[in-house]
Structure 1
């Protein structure tokens, strides 16, 4: 839903041509004008097992991020939340696992000053920055993987080419296609690894462990060989296959797997039917010895 090109200039002021037009800024398809961000010097990924990213903005620079991801922003940074091109653009983002709304962060401070924006994730994640043009101008990700990006990056729907991959591949029919000039910050659960595949090289992965892959990689599924593997291996009936050439990013702890494990340990099977466990402070928080039952019952 965004489509634009941008210059390599990282100047902190807008330059106007003879006709008054801005010559060194980038304009997204929905009309947002801003200077490109040099993420090599302006971004910092912090933390170990659960990371955040802090991005430094100069005047008139714009960062586009998933709504609800902001941890803090300093004085002079403004946030504008929009559909980023109308309801159709918002619907497309919803289909790729993002929010229908996006947030643009712009620094409106004086020349020579800078503002900060810090973004976090909705589950314990690693964060990786990727320059899209380094991977053939296109990166395909699992739904909801994008955290933030240059405001000129296109976020589009990528459909599984085969029906079986859509039904059984673990990611559904709709993936997230990131194209254009600029950088993207992608999140992954647990340990994040990268594999570079040669021409025709096949990598078989557990469904849900996929974070993304570069342009040129083919995405499909295959049936798990062996009846005992299917019944007792814990990986299900199908595995995802990725065929090179290209780059693949994988996550060691898919959020869906973590949620499923937590739900299986909740009394009542994770259906909201939790039962009080004697001595564990659950249920109604009734009175206990010494009159401390009320406070004990509310603790977890």
Structure 2
């Protein structure tokens, strides 16, 4: 499989599939494709698998696209302003990501829900109790809101992050939530009551403009429907 990512603000990944190669995504993720690609939609893993994906932020149904000849074209556009990040995962290699980060992947890649071990991280994490685990082998593509910034945390090194800015992290990274200290910081600091605490070792991927932050900035300018 060959691919290229085009665009800056609203990018798209355009792939060239040879005969027999396949890619899968959640229902509705495909932008356009040539006529030589066969589309198959189903509730992978049965009802339980569909419900599990729904809880982790994906759709009940997954769609697989399989090429019937060499050099067939298929494209998956981003749904929001940001970046498309390709990730080549080795056999058994995983990343943990927030809801809606997964865009598409080769058929060998496994997508499943991931439970946070600590209840506090689930209740106050800003994205719900369930995350997504994406496991290789294979190539996967992720959607990042805004720009992406990567850090490699050393053992014991901590990065405190506004919860919506956490896009992905390696399974070796410990994820927890802590309350902002100080009354004035909590109520007048403008950062919310909780911060994500990421402890190394491992790599983390942070996003600069979470969709909730973007919506908050846009709402004051949205017409309410009244007439002057």
TM tier, smaller: over 0.9
Q: Deviations over 1:153-190 (max 9, x none)?
A: 22111111111111111121100111231121110111
Pairing partner for 2:222 from 266, 271, 291? 266
The answer to whether structure 1 residue 76 and structure 2 residue 36 are counterparts is yes
Post-superposition offset of 1:226: 2.3
> 2: distance between equivalents of 1:68 and 1:125?
19
Pairing partner for 1:210 from 166, 172, 187? 166
Pairing partner for 2:128 from 172, 185, 196? 172
- TM-score for both structures, normalised by structure 2: 0.94
1:107 match: 67
Q: Which runs of 4+ in 1 moved over 4 A?
A: none
The answer to whether structure 1 residue 133 and structure 2 residue 90 are counterparts is yes
Consecutive unaligned residues of structure 2, counting only runs of 5 or more, are none
> 2: distance between equivalents of 1:98 and 1:121?
15
1:222 match: 178
Q: Which has the larger radius of gyration?
A: 1
CA contact (8 A) 1:66 1:99 kept: yes
CA contact (8 A) 1:56 1:114 kept: yes
Pairing partner for 1:85 from 40, 45, 60? 45
Larger RCO of the pair (alpha carbons < 8 Å, separation 6+): 2
The answer to whether structure 1 residue 117 and structure 2 residue 74 are counterparts is yes
Q: How many residue pairs end up in the alignment?
A: 228
Consecutive unaligned residues of structure 1, counting only runs of 5 or more, are 1-36, 269-273, 279-300
Name the one with the larger strand percent. Answer: 2
2:56 match: 96
> 2: distance between equivalents of 1:133 and 1:214?
13
CA contact (8 A) 1:76 1:108 kept: yes
Post-superposition offset of 1:139: 0.4
2:143 match: 187
Q: Which stretch of the first structure deviates more once superposed, 87-96 or 125-134?
A: 125-134
2:23 match: 63
Post-superposition offset of 1:74: 1.1
What SS class does the counterpart of residue 256 from structure 1 fall into?
helix
2:104 match: 148
Post-superposition offset of 1:267: 4.4
Give the root-mean-square deviation of aligned CA atoms. Answer: 1.5
Q: Deviations over 1:76-95 (max 9, x none)?
A: 11211111232211111111
The answer to whether structure 1 residue 231 and structure 2 residue 191 are counterparts is no
Post-superposition offset of 1:63: 0.5
Post-superposition offset of 1:146: 0.2
Q: Deviations over 1:219-244 (max 9, x none)?
A: 10111122222112211111001001
> 2: distance between equivalents of 1:163 and 1:155?
22
